[in-house]
Every structure is written in C-alpha cells, then in structure tokens.
A and B are shown apart, each in its own frame.
Chain A
Amino acid sequence: DAKTTQPTSMDCAEGRAANLPCNHSTISGNEYVYWYRQIHSQGPQYIIHGLKNNETNEMASLIITEDRKSSTLILPHATLRDTAVYYCIVRVTYNNNDMRFGAGTRLTVKP
C-alpha cells in the first residue's frame, strides 16, 4: 500500500470549514483513499473513501486531485466534537487487505 504524508497538527475555528490535506504521490491506479478519525480513547471511525471522483457524505467531503497524488478531507462546519486525530490511508480494497495507519493529523477545533 502507498505511503501517505499528513501534517502533524492543525487548528480550526468552530463553525468554519476544516481542510485536512494528504499527500499520496506513489498511489497506484487501483488504490482507494480512505479517511478515518479517532476521538480520544475510542476506536477509529470510518469517514469517507474515494477512488478518483470527489465524494460527499453526511460527515465530510473528499476532494482528490486529478493526478490522484493528493487529497483533501473537508469538514464543512467543524464543531468541538470534531477534535480528533484524522488518518488518511490508501489501499486496494477488493482483496480486503489490512488498513495501514500512519501518525495522522491531530485536528483541534477551537471555540
């Protein structure tokens, strides 16, 4: 699975959009981009995933660049409860292989 690079930490004001970047320059054509988050003392929570098209669900939007070498997770209106560590993972999904987590980005939403 391809490696990802994320900033160590980010801050965001409550009510504003949080934009979390991820670089995955060695991604292969059959690898998906997954995002998870982990709130303190809980297990990681699935947020969203995509292959090459932009995706949106009730939690977030995922923007993948045309060359697929980077992506951005967007939380449109961050709340204090969105404070968490956010993990960007690239993997091939069809073989149901493991998810390999990096260190993630610690997002702090401030009042």
Chain B
Amino acid sequence: ETGVTQSPTHLIKTRGQQVTLRCSSQSGHNTVSWYQQALGQGPQFIFQYYREEENGRGNFPPRFSGLQFPNYSSELNVNALELDDSALYLCASSRDSLMRGYTFGSGTRLTVV
C-alpha cells in the first residue's frame, strides 16, 4: 500500500503571500489531518477533514483553510503569510474504522521571509 505523500518538500515564500500545500492520503484512508510543527516543538493540530467535510479545528486563524477531494487527497491553504508561519507542515491520514493510529507524510518545510 502507498503511504502519505506531500508536495512540495520545501518552499520559500515572502510575507503576505499565499501558499497551497498538497497531500495524498494512504490508500483506503478517508480522513486527513494537518499539523504545524515549529522547530523544536511537537506537532500542533490545525484541522481535520473527513469525507470532504471539516471535522475539527485547532487554535489556528481563518487564514488557514483546507479542502479534501473525493479521492481523499487534501490541500492546506495559508493566506497572508507571516514570518511565524515558517514551520514543517505535516499531513496525516487514517481510516475511521481502524483503531490504528495515523500515517504521517514527511512534511513540507515552509520558510517565510
């Protein structure tokens, strides 16, 4: 089975710009969660999508938004980028009927300058 793939792996953006990060979930998984991981910290939950609907959101402003597509792949969009948005963005997929934990991608390293 294929794992979770994220693109791009690295990205540099200027403050104020917009960015879209992409995630292909593992085959058979219908739930996607996005996390932000600042340097030296644990991942922080942004939001989760289940069957194309937002299914929970962490403490992130509305300029962080997302989409999930019928094939369960997902996008994370961040508008009006700030310097503090520089982080590793992780996507994780799971299946609602499974007890097993999430499968994470290797992340997208975003640098805002």
Are A and B co-members of a single complex? yes
Residues of A in contact with B (beta carbons under 8 Å apart): 32, 34, 36, 41-46, 49, 85, 87, 93, 96-104
Q: A42 to B107, alpha carbons, bound, how many Å?
A: 7
Asked if A96 meets B42 with Cβ closer than 8 Å, knowing A43-B90, A43-B105, A43-B107, the reply is: no
B76 within 8 A of A: no
A49 CB to nearest B CB, Å: 6
Q: Could you write out 25 A-B pairs with CB less than 8 Å apart?
A: A32-B99, A34-B101, A36-B101, A41-B106, A43-B92, A44-B43, A44-B90, A45-B104, A46-B100, A46-B103, A49-B101, A85-B42, A87-B42, A93-B99, A96-B31, A96-B50, A96-B96, A97-B56, A98-B33, A98-B56, A98-B58, A99-B92, A102-B42, A103-B41, A103-B42
Query: Which B residues touch A34, using CB under 8 A?
Result: 101
Query: Which A residues touch B4, using CB under 8 A?
Result: 43
Residues of B in contact with A (beta carbons under 8 Å apart): 4, 31, 33, 35, 41-45, 48, 50, 55-56, 58, 90, 92, 94, 96, 99-107
Query: Which A residues touch B35, using CB under 8 A?
Result: 101
Judged by DSSP, the binding face of A is: loop
Q: Check A101–B101 contact: CB distance below 8 A.
A: no
Residue of A with least CB distance to B3: A43
Q: Check A101–B42 contact: CB distance below 8 A.
A: yes
